[in-house]
Amino acid sequence: MSLPEDALKPGRLDGTLLPSVDASVALQRLPVYLACTLLALVTNYLLGKDIAWDTVNYHLYAGFSAVNDRFAQDYFAAGPPSYFIPYAYVPFYALVRAGFTPLEITSALAVLHSVILWLTFELAFCVCPSDDRRVRMTYGICAVALAFLNPILMQQIGSSYADITTTVPVLAGWLLLAHAVRAPHVARVLCAGLLLGAASALKATNAVHAVSGLAVLIMLPLTLRGRIRHGLGYAFALGLGFAIVAAPWSYRLDKMFGNPLFPLMNNVFRSPEFTTEPLRHYRFIPDSFANALWRPFAIVDPVPMVQTELTAPDLRYAVLVVLAGALFLRQLWQRYSRASTRPARAEPAMPARILAALGCGLAADWVLWLSASGNGRYFLPMASVTAVVLVALLFKLFARRPKLRNYLLVAIFGVQMVQLYIGANHRWEWLPWDQQWLAIEVPKKLATEPALYLSRGVQSNSFIAPYLAPGAGLVNFDGGYALGPTGANGARIEALMRRYAPHLRVLWRGSQASADEAGREPDHASVDDALARFGLRVDASDCATITVHGLPPEPETTIVYANEPVKPQSRDTSYLASCHVVPDDTDRSAQIARERAVDLVLDRLEDACPQLFQPRRLRTEQYREIWRRLYVNTDLVAQVSHGTVKFFDPVRGGPMVELGLESDWAKAPRRLACGRRDGRYFATALQ
């Protein structure tokens, strides 16, 4: 039922974004804020240095490209993420380039990340139905503790991830929406929209939280007309906030690719330099309605690949579902039971309304998030909202039984802490604190002579860009998103090669470029296979090695000869090999014919099972006798080798699945029974 707008005049006259706070209350908040920041700093220190895969793949490069115009000299330097709006990574890049130690860098970021706990505390204050300061402090501290006991939050404290950094403006926007429910004012709604629009530009996955904010506005104590007016204002502010942040970068993208959001939404803008197939990462999306309903309880299990790649058990979502169900059943009982003739104790209407608004927004967000990605890193803002709603429901359900409530709180905290201690991965790659984030030894020639580096590998290693000679360019042509010599990609790469010729080099990770202590030369054959598509080969007489201290080596297969001692590999040292490349005059007609035959087979495989092999018609890569395609939506790899067609899942592991002979697929399309069940893909050839 809508309230008459006349009843809202006091709230409408409140021109402040947040309610005024007297000095005594402010002094109570200050120790909590300081404790939150100290907690983040201590956690960051105890968990150690962490260099995640994404940090070296594109985070450092993104910050570098944001302050250095790289459009003219780089092309897919970090794969498709090269062109995501990079501004959220500038603080991390600036701290690294300034030469601060890893502990100083991550501590500065941890201070910023601790603001998440401040905002959680304020949200809890907002929903507390009591004016008693002790009760409100209890609400806030319990919510902060539950928000902190989030394995994904712990993993990202002090990290370079934009997920946790942009959680700050998202939570600030939701706090403004909560206060708008308490006292509607257009300034609060507009500022919330601006914050959430900006956060969506900085990290596209935040758009889910921006859209679900509309569900919060449904609970505004206004007439239908007033809600619509505030909703339209919010939508306008979302677009404006997004445009303000995205405009400079989107202008460059549109000028270069014809798509202002490149590589996103390319099925709409259809730039010829990227796939026009829809992009949707299915890694954590439930494969059935039943699994979607079970997800809050599945997250409790300390196993990987549920809501993130690492183990991140979290009890809170399951508890919240149980509490919400219990509250619903109790209200039904009170409404229809004959025994409930006595009126229930009245609660303050406004905190209850704010709690309902946050609950509606959280439910909408959960559904949108689960259908869009299901990735727990992208749910970080709502994980804090979950903590607030969970505490509020506990206090609401057990208002008359405070001892039982306290026992339940202790049990929840205890179980979650045990889960975090025993079952959670707190870092992607734990490393000890040292004096530099990365200590990189670049040979003088590479540091002084600009060249075009053709890098290969799913790991782009674009972090090296700031350490190469000024003017050097990068093209990650082989690995995450393969680029070929034809079409729009080929034309762009050919233009860069002409500009830099003869200073062309190849770059790859995993081995040294020169002979090892046993006198064995490195194997350049697989590199030559990748370069062959551009008519190039390695010039083994001009190779160099970049040594990177502080970065663990990638796992690689090493051949150990008989009676030869195994040389221990340094845990914090990796190598980037770089060799000059020269034109290759070898006749490639047989290879080109072979590639066309493989493309026909893989095209038919994609058409037989579009659920698994998507996006379709990507570039085929060659690794000696293996021809393969990597499908970014499903993480699968399909390949043709030794006369058979097969696929495997490199992320989840498991056996390679054979789907028949290459000769049979070459003769005619075949039928497959395929799909996804319990998070794993299957396919079987039908007769």
Give the model's confidence band at 7: pLDDT under 50 very low, under 70 low, under 90 confident, else very high. very low
Q: How many CB atoms lie within 10 A of CB 337?
A: 9
pLDDT score recorded for residue 511:
65
Q: How far is the CA of 117 from the CAs of 16, 22, 384, in angstroms?
A: 23, 21, 8
Give the model's confidence band at 348: pLDDT under 50 very low, under 70 low, under 90 confident, else very high. low
Whether residue 92 has pLDDT greater than 60: yes
Look over the chain and give the mean of its residue pLDDT values, rounded to a whole number: 89
Residue 180 lies in a domain: yes
Residue 58 lies in a domain: no
What's the chain's length in residues? Answer: 687
Q: Which of helix, strand or coil describes residue 313?
A: coil
Nearest to 262 by CA among 546, 46, 492: 492
Same-domain pairing of 390 and 495: no
Spatial CB neighbours of 179, under 8 Å, sequence gap ≥ 6 = 17, 18, 19, 126, 188
CB 327 within 8 A of CB 393: yes
pLDDT score recorded for residue 371:
95
Same-domain pairing of 171 and 319: yes
Whether residue 648 has pLDDT greater than 80: yes
Nearest to 167 by CA among 206, 141, 211, 197: 206
State mean pLDDT over 641-654: 92
pLDDT score recorded for residue 331:
83
CB 627 within 8 A of CB 621: yes
Same-domain pairing of 246 and 326: yes
* Domain termination residue (choose one: 551, 586, 621): 586
Number of domains comprising the chain: 3
Residue 347 lies in a domain: yes
% of residues, the chain, pLDDT over 70: 90
pLDDT score recorded for residue 437:
85
Element containing residue 452 per DSSP (H, E): strand 452-457
Give the model's confidence band at 24: pLDDT under 50 very low, under 70 low, under 90 confident, else very high. low
Same-domain pairing of 537 and 396: no
State mean pLDDT over 589-608: 94
Place of tokens 């902060």: 144
Provide the whole-model pTM.
Answer: 0.91
* Domain termination residue (choose one: 390, 423, 456): 423
pLDDT in tens, 455-489: 998 899 999 999 999 999 999 998 889 999 999 99
Task: Give the tokens for residue 390.
Answer: 């969970």
Same-domain pairing of 313 and 412: yes
Place of tokens 């993420």: 81
CB 82 within 8 A of CB 264: no
Q: How many CB atoms lie within 10 A of CB 89?
A: 25
Residue 363 lies in a domain: yes
Same-domain pairing of 486 and 515: yes
Domain that holds residue 259: 5-47+100-423
Say how far apart CA 210 and CA 369 lie, in whole Å. 11
* Domain termination residue (choose one: 423, 450, 468): 423
Same-domain pairing of 576 and 668: no
State mean pLDDT over 86-106: 95
pLDDT score recorded for residue 16:
62
% of residues, the chain, pLDDT over 90: 75
Same-domain pairing of 182 and 304: yes
State mean pLDDT over 122-135: 89
Same-domain pairing of 365 and 483: no
Same-domain pairing of 213 and 332: yes
pLDDT score recorded for residue 563:
39
pLDDT in tens, 302-323: 999 999 999 999 999 999 999 9
DSSP tally for the chain: helices H, then strands E: 25, 15
Amino acid identity of 575? Y
pLDDT score recorded for residue 338:
56
Residue 301 lies in a domain: yes
State mean pLDDT over 370-396: 96
Q: Considering only residues 350 and 42, tell me which one the structure prediction assigns the higher pLDDT.
A: 42
Say how far apart CA 575 and CA 35 lie, in whole Å. 41
pLDDT score recorded for residue 121:
96
State mean pLDDT over 92-121: 95
pLDDT in tens, 28-64: 789 999 999 999 999 999 999 888 899 999 999 999 9
Spatial CB neighbours of 328, under 8 Å, sequence gap ≥ 6 = none
Nearest to 652 by CA among 287, 295, 314: 287
pLDDT score recorded for residue 557:
32
Lowest mean per-residue pLDDT among 101-115, 248-262, 440-454, 566-580: 566-580
Whether residue 516 has pLDDT greater than 70: no
State mean pLDDT over 138-161: 95
User: Per-residue DSSP letters for 459-498?
Assistant: S--GGGGGGS-TT-EEEEEEESS---SSHHHHHHHHHHHH
Residue 678 lies in a domain: yes
pLDDT score recorded for residue 543:
93
Say how far apart CA 600 and CA 627 lie, in whole Å. 12
CB 633 within 8 A of CB 280: yes
Same-domain pairing of 181 and 317: yes
Residue 430 lies in a domain: no
Residue 428 lies in a domain: no
Task: Give the tokens for residue 194.
Answer: 């601006």
CB 507 within 8 A of CB 576: yes
Same-domain pairing of 404 and 476: no
